[in-house]
């Protein structure tokens, strides 16, 4: 990876984007680099990156999530990796939570039978049918 270039040292980017540039942006997005980091490495502004490489940024991030999900699924159902590698489950779970938005949810279902449960419904300005009949 080339040394970062400060915003004041960036060259003026001239388009259209080349296939090599598109592939670089896709790869950086696939591996989780932020838009700001990609713009620094590619020596262009954040606006230029998002304008001319929107598709590569989106596809890179989508493909990364799909690969993480695929590996988790294969691990869960016991499919062997085609290359014979054993996946690191801890790393997969970490990536799923940080990159894909997965989360663990705890559901508390401790409702004691016989307790009085009260629901408070705020008045929202609408009248019920009973109130209409009384008028």
Residue 20 lies in a domain: yes
Q: Give a yes or no: residue 110 inside a domain.
A: no
Give 50-74 pLDDT, tens digit per residue.
999 999 999 999 999 898 888 888 7
State whether residue 41 is helix, strand or coil: helix
C-alpha–C-alpha distance, residues 16 and 89, integer Å: 41
Question: How many structural domains are present in the chain?
Answer: 1
What's the number of CA atoms in the CB half-sphere (13 Å) around residue 120? 1
- Which of 26-35, 82-91, 124-133 has the least mean pLDDT? 124-133
Q: Residue 38: what pLDDT? A: 93
Q: What's the domain range around 75?
A: 7-99
Indicate whether 42 belongs to any domain.
yes
Nearest Cα residue to 93 out of 105, 101, 85, 81? 101
Enter the pTM of the model.
0.60
Confidence at residue 90, expressed as pLDDT on a 0 to 100 scale: 82
């Amino acid at each position: 990876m080339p040394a970062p270039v400060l915003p004041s040292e960036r060259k003026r980017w001239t388009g259209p984007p080349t296939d090599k540039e598109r592939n670089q942006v896709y790869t950086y997005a696939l591996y989780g680099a932020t838009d700001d980091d990609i713009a620094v490495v590619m020596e262009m502004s954040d606006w230029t990156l998002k304008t001319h490489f929107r598709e590569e940024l989106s596809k890179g991030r989508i493909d990364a999530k799909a690969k993480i999900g695929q590996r988790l699924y294969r691990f869960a159902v016991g499919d062997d990796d085609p290359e014979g590698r054993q996946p690191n489950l801890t790393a997969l779970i970490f990536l799923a939570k940080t990159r894909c938005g997965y989360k663990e949810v705890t559901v508390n279902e401790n409702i004691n039978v016989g307790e009085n449960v009260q629901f408070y419904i705020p008045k929202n300005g609408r009248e019920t049918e009973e109130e209409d009949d009384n008028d």
